[in-house]
Structure 1
């Protein structure tokens, strides 16, 4: 059994910032790849409450909205994300 997700991070963050998943009042915001070029629209957003739920969707191809202080949030493709679980260390 795999451990609980402790964080989801961007494999290569923008210069000088540490990006983290954005949490809204509805939860973590993801974009369903089934909506193609329209996946970034608010009406197609998928929200989950936990990082574990977000990780499941990222593993299924969903993009995750991430941001950093002073930078506008953006959708990050699953291939550019790293999921860190209990007992694992993040590779940098």
Structure 2
């Protein structure tokens, strides 16, 4: 397994209708490094966003989609998604404000 630093774990937030509805329950969705573990995701969120305390982390591996251009076929890259639930007394994550 590669040596992954906390700032390399979280790639970008997932902004969908479902993820916006989960924010009411203090659940935030991120695309994460494919080799990151739940404990690494928890550490990265707590270090990157001040005042946050992680209660729970759920992860899921997503296969690449089949793509075709003419007669050539291929697949997009595999990704990993993490849903992070914060504690009740935790601060909100600011990057989702105003969306």
- Larger RCO (CA under 8 A, 6+ residues apart): 1
Above 0.5 in TM-score? no
Q: Which has the higher helix share?
A: 2
TM-score w.r.t. the length of structure 1 is 0.29
Greater Cα radius of gyration, structure 1 or 2:
2
